[in-house]
Structure 1
Amino acid sequence: MEGCQMLVEIPQRGKSPVANDADGVQSLLTWKGRNRRLRAKIARTLTMSMADPSSPTALKGATTSAEDQEDAFLQFVEYARSMLSSNFDEDTDAGGCDGGDASAPPWSWVVSRILKSCVTYSSGVTPAILLSDLFQAWIEQRRYMTSKKKLEWKIPLEKRHKRMKLPHTVTIDSIYEKNFLSPSSVIEAVVIDTFLLPGTNIYLLSLGDMWSSCTIDLYLHRRYYDLVEFQILKKGREIFLTGCCLRSAMDGSGHPRLLPTEYLIVLLDEDQDEDALLLGAQFCSDSFSSISVDAFKNGISYSFYARQVILNKLSKCQYSEGVERKGVTLVDSEGVKIRFVLWGDQVLLANKIFSPGSMLALDKPFIAHIDDANITSQELCLEFGSATRIYMVPFTQQEEQVLISSTQLRSPGPKLSSTLCQNQGLNISQVMLPLDSQGSVDFKNYPLQLLVVDLRDKMTGVSIYGVVRYIHREVNSLDTIFRVKLEDTTGAIVAKLHFVRSWSLGHLGIGHSVFISGLTCSLNADKKLEVSWFEKDVGNTLVNLSCLPALLNSSCLHKSSCIADISKLTETKTHICRTSVVSIEHHDVCLIKSHAICGYPVRESSDGSLICSFCHLECDGEILDNFQLKVTLGDETGRLCVWCTCQTATELLQITPDEYIQLPVVEQAMYLCTLTGERLIVAVVNCRRDTNGSSVDLHGDVIFEVVRAQKF
């Protein structure tokens, strides 16, 4: 830990960290640790980037060269990746991190971290701040590879890569650091030792994990005592735990311990002789077709071995009011399917640990008839009873070679991409990516930027950076689904966005630049490529870059444009422009009722209710007064008519709708005149409509929108 600590004074959220890049260099010079050579190179590179006008991070004014028309945001992403790769390759110690993995961080990971910093520092970021955050985060990302302190036990490296770390896993080190453990957290542990508490018959397990230097003791639940006696829970055994509570030390002499939990899953390995013998002897004689309810009532117990196929939410039944209930569909070796039903706290197992493709060995499950409003027949199901124990053979993570296309090697920032490849010393014609049980390839850690032209069937974890060309809701669907057409330099694709309840992304419109991660690609019934995104899935994000407040003050992430450039160019990227207000006509300022969630206007239906023109939902109680206005902006190169609405219009007018409406008409016109000549820095997008049109038309014939503005 010592080699990975940074003594950087991070500004408070909402306060401006933008002062001078030299401050960021100085903060990096205080990076505590043994790796002085790496620390010096970071500071040296940042200093050179400020001095060198050709550097991707140098602060530059408006230009009109072809090179400056490239996307500065993508250029900085490539530059940051090359910096991380070259520094960690040059010094394998890298603050205590193992240098065995010389690859650069994935493109989507770098973009996500940069956007996270922009959200945190809303008033702007500098290259020093971004690179400082990136280096710190990349070190944390690689912590599991460190050799800081080795325990006596080891899990072979080849076994570590067989399965992915679960999304809700917490490390033992983090439990000690926070002195807290949520019952919904998952612990992936290895048994270090089993022993009796002195003077009692209470079993304790000493647990460690692959990412921590500490161990912790667990009071074992009594339903698992015989597993210790039969040498199943022994040294080196991997287990999953959830539903745990932490018993903190009451005085300085004690140590925190984990209290007993029923939700302990023993991991088995079919390649190990002992585990294969256990599975064959105990679980392979019974099948779902052999279940007899009468025999079960007479005391006969069953043990099943089956593959998890799907997890589904069951509808309410007469016994489950207020209790969450989920069913895990299992299929045995004969192809017979049955549901394993979980109730209440048991649902943690399904939500946090179970995964499609994994094998479950259920010992002594309770057998009942499923009570579901959608099922008319007396279907049998399995339940987690008082004597039930679960063994699991996790899905073995396969990998597939994926060729890197020429379009990706020619992605924005080609000089930086080629430099990155040279620094790594790799022939990056192909990469190995994880393959799931359905044959889909996970592109979450793909090294380069994926473009629209690269999308294929059976791709998951895809990240796309593009521009919205049109957006509308599927009004005939019971679910909240929006279709968004995303466009980049290679083409366009329509993505179906599935939301948990309602639209939750704020104001998003045509021409806005977005970054979306967690896309899934598949072929539909017509053999056409369909791209989907599910808000509920862990790690899926959608960020509207055009509306980020930090973008205006982060000169390393944009290149300033002038009015003449914006009016001539047909590019769809977001332009940052320093300009002045030429005029705002009184008749071009309108006050509208808008939906608070998305910012779009509302209309009154025939029954008097208010309907959002974008979400197509009743929005009574979620209505705000907003401006919708047209304004003429100008600089020394020309003039441009633009429109804006919502918070952006308020920022531009520097008055709230409530304050404006209270002014007499004459004073309103006089107030607008006082804004003439006001200097602004604005983010402008080209919101020309796609040929397919859009469900909402706010701007008429004005094709430029100001999506963010502030005084300059």
Structure 2
Amino acid sequence: MELDLRRGGLGDHDEEEDDRFLAFIERARSAIVPETALLNCLERRGEGMESATPGWGWIASRVLRTCGVYSSGVTAAILLADLHQAWHDQHRSSISKKRPECVKLLQRNHRRSKLPNTVTIDSIYEKNFLSLNSVLEAVIVDVYVLPGTNVYMLTMGDFWSSNTMDLYLHRRYYDLVQPPNGILKKGREVFLTGCHLRTAVEGFGNTRLLPTEYLIILLDEDQDDDAILLGAQFCSDTFASISANAVNTGVSYSLYARIESIGAQEEIGSLQRKQITLVDSDGSKLKFLLWGEQILLANLFSVGSMVALDRPYIASSVENTLHLEEELCLEYGSATQLYIVPYIQQEEQVYVALSGNSQRSRLMATVDPSQSPLVSQVTLPCDSQGSVDFTNYPFRPFIVDLRHKMTGITLYGVITDIYRETNEAAFVFSMKLEDATGVAWIRLHFGESWSLRRISVGHTVYISGMTSSMSKRMRLELSWFENDPGAHVVNISTLPSMLNSSCLHRLSCLSNVLSGTTSTHICKVWLSQIEECQIDVRETHVRCGHFIWKSADGLPECSFCDCKCSSKVVSTFLLKITVADEMAKVCAWCSGQTASELLQITPDEFYMLPEDEQLIYPSSLENEKFTVAIVNCQKRSNGSRRRLPPGIDKIPWEITGASKS
């Protein structure tokens, strides 16, 4: 299957020529992976390009993370060094290492994706730490009995480590080591979680893993022994064949089913529960329930994988603890053994078009200039539902690129509208984002409240971890969930380090601001017409940084979050001021830390001044020089719900960041 990302009628544009941040990302990728290497990957078409080159989103996210650490500014050398180190750390597992021969043999056919919480044996030794939620995807290198005991030990390696580690095998698995059921043997793959680490103390003993109940044995349907085991033991029983009466008489079942979904963690009284929906070969569904610490087992499951359950505990809905509509469900009992045939992630070829990015166009044209506008392809992973994962897409995605069933989407653009959806019971916001190719509405889903600090119209943002789907009205919908892996939002316009990082911005004149050629302008200015400066102190909502209004009942209300917030407010400046340079003057407004930076005083300190000193205070700031970030805050959709205080609601320019020169 191929996903066609053709562009039509938009023409090429050179946005990164104006936006130094975008240009730096392209420069950084060329530094990490030279253009010749990228060209070779493209020419191979379908040999896992995403593993050989850093994705555009990976570089952008890493640069922004470093900017957050160095708030006073960064240099190109700092950023490139951090990127090189991060890329090396992430991919050092690909460096040839001395691994056990049985691991090397299995690695040749290793095609599945890592589970989300997977750690390597090498990293355990390095950190001398292992959390209970961590997952080990291991290969058994040796099985032996501790001398003088009947305790079984497994020596395990993995595909990414040169080291091996020993595990005390839990006694519930002893039958699977001993003949004739000796499936746990050299060369067998297993998943483990819920492990405790026993570290070497002052040079005595070895670092080992203590016994864990949460071990799943991997099976391969292409291997004769595994296929015979599945056929003989797990294919005679189905969900429909389960009888409550038979269960009561001690009959056990061996079942084989596909994992359709993995539910969120729930609270049932004092217990935690997770529901996993299974579908058997007849299309029947049953819930597989995990309780309490058993929830750790869900770390080893992935949607689309086949799971074989030997002797699961079968519970009836008459048991008061279930709280389920189904008559029967499965649970992980004391005699239950689990096997899994992991879902092998499929791949899909995505066409790369010429337009939309000059660097991409140059590369594509170099590969094959005769195939315009479709000159090459990128191979990306695809899940069991047909959704293509763009997390490692090597180029910057644009709004015009978006299609149905995409995950891991990253966008960079300007907000033209944002508001809370009041008809939703959950905390959901709609954000309209614009880039050089079009506009898109994104629904932001939060757990309890807004958590992204201040974001407003005109601000430039980087947002990752989105998914796309087609609505019933055949409209493309983008969704972002706060707790999803990779979900990240950075407000470029308010990033402190951006002002002092010459490698990430191009200085503008105020005359360019007035012409509105780019989204966020970085300018060197001085304060002018100080006698017209207006200083007000207002309350803002702590969570979102937006102004508080008095509702009809007299209580403070955040119009942005659309909620009462009497105990979550803070005093801040609302400043209207004129800034100037050699070319022009601009009347703008600002609030929060930006206003405090321009005024060189905090709201509390300003309040402490006598009234006459408050009146003359602005005069001391005449001609003070600053580097500022300015955006057009009037660039919004018709019917926008945004509210601004009187006096600044008609001012089109907001200063989103300031640093004293």
**TM-score above 0.5, yes or no:** yes
Give 1:380's aligned residue: 328
Letter of the 1:344 partner, please give it.
G
Decide whether the 8 Å contact of 1:458 with 1:522 is kept in 2: yes
Name which of structure 1's ranges 583-592 and 183-192 shifts more when overlaid on structure 2: 583-592
Decide whether the 8 Å contact of 2:507 with 2:522 is kept in 1: yes
Of the candidates 532, 535, 542, which is equivalent to residue 482 of structure 2?
535
Of the candidates 462, 467, 492, which is equivalent to residue 545 of structure 1?
492
Give 1:341's aligned residue: 289
Q: What do residues 598-628 of structure 1 show as CA deviations (whole Å, max 9, x unaligned)?
A: 0011223344432211111222321100111
CA shift for structure 1 position 663:
2.0
Q: 1:169 to 1:213 in 2, by over 3 A?
A: same
Q: Percent identity among equivalent residues? A: 52
> Which residues of 2 match residues 314-329 of structure 1 at below 5 A?
316=267, 320-329=268-277
Give 1:475's aligned residue: 422
2:246 paired with 1:295 = yes
CA shift for structure 1 position 641:
0.7
Q: 1:693 to 1:664 in 2, by over 3 A?
A: farther
Q: 1:249 to 1:160 in 2, by over 3 A?
A: same
Decide whether the 8 Å contact of 2:99 with 2:163 is kept in 1: no
Of the candidates 617, 620, 624, which is equivalent to residue 671 of structure 1?
617
2:190 paired with 1:239 = yes
Q: What do residues 319-347 of structure 1 show as CA deviations (whole Å, max 9, x unaligned)?
A: x3232111111111111111001111111
> Which residues of 2 match residues 678-689 of structure 1 at below 5 A?
678-689=624-635
Give 2:118's aligned residue: 169
Q: 1:378 to 1:554 in 2, by over 3 A?
A: closer
Question: Which structure carries more relative contact order (alpha carbon 8 Å, separation 6+)?
Answer: 2
SS at match of 1:295: helix
Give 2:346's aligned residue: 398
> Which residues of 2 match residues 635-654 of structure 1 at below 5 A?
635-654=581-600
Q: Distance in 2 between matches of 1:153 and 1:121?
A: 46
Q: What do residues 297-337 of structure 1 show as CA deviations (whole Å, max 9, x unaligned)?
A: 22111111111111224765xxx323211111111111111
Q: 1:531 to 1:504 in 2, by over 3 A?
A: same
Q: Distance in 2 between matches of 1:692 and 1:100?
A: 45
Letter of the 2:479 partner, please give it.
S
CA shift for structure 1 position 224:
0.7
Q: Distance in 2 between matches of 1:157 and 1:216?
A: 18
SS at match of 2:619: helix
Letter of the 2:212 partner, please give it.
T
Q: Distance in 1 between matches of 2:215 and 2:313?
A: 17
Q: 1:68 to 1:639 in 2, by over 3 A?
A: farther
Q: What do residues 573-607 of structure 1 show as CA deviations (whole Å, max 9, x unaligned)?
A: 21100000113457722111111010011223344
Q: 1:264 to 1:250 in 2, by over 3 A?
A: same
Q: 1:392 to 1:508 in 2, by over 3 A?
A: same
Q: 1:449 to 1:314 in 2, by over 3 A?
A: closer
Give 2:71's aligned residue: 122
Q: Distance in 1 between matches of 2:163 and 2:495?
A: 41
Decide whether the 8 Å contact of 2:533 with 2:618 is kept in 1: no
Decide whether the 8 Å contact of 1:82 with 1:419 is kept in 2: no
Give 1:151's aligned residue: 100
CA shift for structure 1 position 67:
9.2
Q: Normalised by the size of structure 1, how large is the TM-score?
A: 0.84
Give 2:44's aligned residue: none
Decide whether the 8 Å contact of 2:309 with 2:338 is kept in 1: yes
2:551 paired with 1:617 = no
CA shift for structure 1 position 553:
0.9
Letter of the 2:604 partner, please give it.
D
Q: Distance in 2 between matches of 1:421 and 1:251?
A: 61
Letter of the 1:613 partner, please give it.
S
Of the candidates 491, 511, 528, which is equivalent to residue 564 of structure 1?
511
Q: What do residues 389-414 of structure 1 show as CA deviations (whole Å, max 9, x unaligned)?
A: 21111111111111012224x34686
> Which residues of 2 match residues 451-462 of structure 1 at below 5 A?
451-462=398-409
Name which of structure 1's ranges 366-375 and 187-196 shifts more when overlaid on structure 2: 366-375
Q: Normalised by the size of structure 2, how large is the TM-score?
A: 0.91
Of the candidates 53, 76, 82, which is equivalent to residue 30 of structure 2?
82
Which ranges of structure 2 fall in alignment gaps of 5 or more residues? Answer: 1-13, 41-46
Q: Distance in 2 between matches of 1:413 and 1:673?
A: 51
Q: Distance in 1 between matches of 2:402 and 2:67?
A: 28
Of the candidates 481, 496, 503, which is equivalent to residue 443 of structure 2?
496
Of the candidates 279, 298, 311, which is equivalent to residue 331 of structure 1?
279
Letter of the 2:500 partner, please give it.
N
CA shift for structure 1 position 420:
10
Decide whether the 8 Å contact of 2:17 with 2:23 is kept in 1: no
Letter of the 1:474 partner, please give it.
E
Q: 1:197 to 1:332 in 2, by over 3 A?
A: same
Give 2:217's aligned residue: 266
Q: Distance in 1 between matches of 2:280 and 2:26?
A: 48
Name which of structure 1's ranges 151-160 and 136-145 shifts more when overlaid on structure 2: 151-160
Of the candidates 126, 140, 145, which is equivalent to residue 89 of structure 2?
140
> Which residues of 2 match residues 397-476 of structure 1 at below 5 A?
397-408=345-356, 410-411=357-358, 429-476=376-423
Q: Distance in 2 between matches of 1:348 and 1:199?
A: 33
Name which of structure 1's ranges 666-675 and 159-168 shifts more when overlaid on structure 2: 159-168
Q: What do residues 135-191 of structure 1 show as CA deviations (whole Å, max 9, x unaligned)?
A: 111112221211132332234577665211122111111111111111111111111
Letter of the 2:291 partner, please give it.
W
SS at match of 2:288: strand
CA shift for structure 1 position 685:
0.9
Q: 1:374 to 1:656 in 2, by over 3 A?
A: farther
Letter of the 1:388 partner, please give it.
T
Q: What do residues 26-74 of structure 1 show as CA deviations (whole Å, max 9, x unaligned)?
A: xxxxxxxxxxxxxxxxxxxxxxxxxxxxxxxxxxxxxxxx999611111
SS at match of 1:672: helix
Give 2:201's aligned residue: 250
Of the candidates 345, 354, 369, which is equivalent to residue 316 of structure 2?
369
Decide whether the 8 Å contact of 2:153 with 2:167 is kept in 1: yes
Q: Distance in 2 between matches of 1:602 and 1:391?
A: 56
Letter of the 1:704 partner, please give it.
W
Name which of structure 1's ranges 148-157 and 650-659 shifts more when overlaid on structure 2: 148-157
Q: What do residues 255-295 of structure 1 show as CA deviations (whole Å, max 9, x unaligned)?
A: 11101111101111111111111111111111111111221
Decide whether the 8 Å contact of 2:15 with 2:436 is kept in 1: no
Q: How many residues align?
A: 630
Letter of the 1:578 partner, please give it.
K
SS at match of 1:149: coil
Give 2:300's aligned residue: 353
Decide whether the 8 Å contact of 1:470 with 1:693 is kept in 2: no
Which ranges of structure 1 fall in alignment gaps of 5 or more residues? Answer: 1-65, 93-98
Decide whether the 8 Å contact of 2:244 with 2:316 is kept in 1: no
Decide whether the 8 Å contact of 2:156 with 2:165 is kept in 1: yes
Letter of the 2:224 partner, please give it.
D
Q: 1:395 to 1:416 in 2, by over 3 A?
A: closer
2:153 paired with 1:223 = no
Q: 1:68 to 1:223 in 2, by over 3 A?
A: closer
Q: Distance in 2 between matches of 1:177 and 1:522?
A: 42
Decide whether the 8 Å contact of 1:468 with 1:487 is kept in 2: yes
Decide whether the 8 Å contact of 1:107 with 1:446 is kept in 2: yes
Decide whether the 8 Å contact of 1:79 with 1:416 is kept in 2: no
Letter of the 1:245 partner, please give it.
H
Letter of the 1:638 partner, please give it.
A
Of the candidates 105, 108, 114, which is equivalent to residue 54 of structure 2?
105
